[in-house]
Amino acid sequence: MTAKEAITSTPVAQPEWGLLKILRETFEWFGELGLFVWRFIRAALTPPYEGRELLRQMDEIGAKSLPLVALAGGAIGVVLSMQTRDSLVRFGAKSFLPIVIVMSIIKESGPIITALVMSGRIGAGIGAELGSMKVTEQIDAIEASAVNPHKFLVVTRILACMLMLPLLTLAADFCGIMTGWVANALSDRTPLQLFINNGFEDVGFDDLFPSLLKALVFGFIIGLMGCFQGMRASGGTEGVGRASTSAVVLSSLFVILADVVLVRLIIMFFP
């Protein structure tokens, strides 16, 4: 075979169309995510457990995020009180203001605002931390020292997010209700005891439990996206930046999508 015949007989790679490439990369990403979740479950259920690292992550994620979450919850309470009061006064239903504020914060505003705030703080932090460890080969060093990096780095952070998000949601609910009362009291001088009695008159465990369950799922999503994107980082400091940004964007997006699904499920099982 001559050189000309060899060149002409060599198959030429066809360029991949843009849409097909996007679909292929999307399916590959979800496949890697599924394998990552399986590794997390297997590492979480297999002893030994990293209790000390879990406590450290709970302090990092929970205690150090409390001021930011409290501020966000308080702001939501003030806004709900001012906006809702004008609407209820227009229809002559001002007496329903406490129950509207309490139910709105407990059932929806508290969990989703807390999750979005934590997506920005914790999602970016975990993605940048694990991304920098990945590109500097610290994760390879941990694995070489006979320590499972998924158990030490991933499981502890995801479990800490799942445990802390419901508690932070309760803190946001409390701050939102208190600031909602303060905003209302500045206009009507409503006593706190009367506001609480009217607000929690029809609130039961069936109203609080679904919101905490949503916060648990949101915590899993935030921790999972931060760890997954951080462990996939490559390309030096630029890759760390991409991992941090994508962790925030994806965790916020999946939190909103999960909220849509969870609201429908809660309506079905907690009518």
Q: Is residue 233 part of a domain?
A: yes
Q: Is residue 37 part of a domain?
A: no
- The pLDDT of 121-150, averaged and rounded, is 83
CB-based contact 157:223 (threshold 8 Å): yes
- The pLDDT of 150-175, averaged and rounded, is 91
Two structure tokens written together for 33: 């995510």
Q: Is residue 17 part of a domain?
A: no
pTM for this model (two decimals):
0.87
Instruction: Give the residue with greater pLDDT, 177 vs 149.
Output: 177
Total domains in the fold of the chain: 1
- What is the pLDDT, as a whole number, of residue 17? 64
Q: Is residue 153 part of a domain?
A: yes
Rounded Cα–Cα distance for residues 2 and 185 (Å): 93
Interval 238-255: pLDDT, tens: 888 888 888 899 999 999
Q: Is residue 16 part of a domain?
A: no
pLDDT at position 261 over 60: yes
Q: Is residue 218 part of a domain?
A: yes
CB-based contact 131:239 (threshold 8 Å): yes
Two structure tokens written together for 150: 């998924």
- The pLDDT of 198-212, averaged and rounded, is 82
Interval 31-89: pLDDT, tens: 888 898 998 888 888 888 888 888 988 888 888 889 999 999 999 988 888 888 877 77
User: Radius of gyration (Cα) for the chain, nearest Å?
Assistant: 24
Residue 147 belongs to what domain range?
68-269
- What is the pLDDT, as a whole number, of residue 100? 85
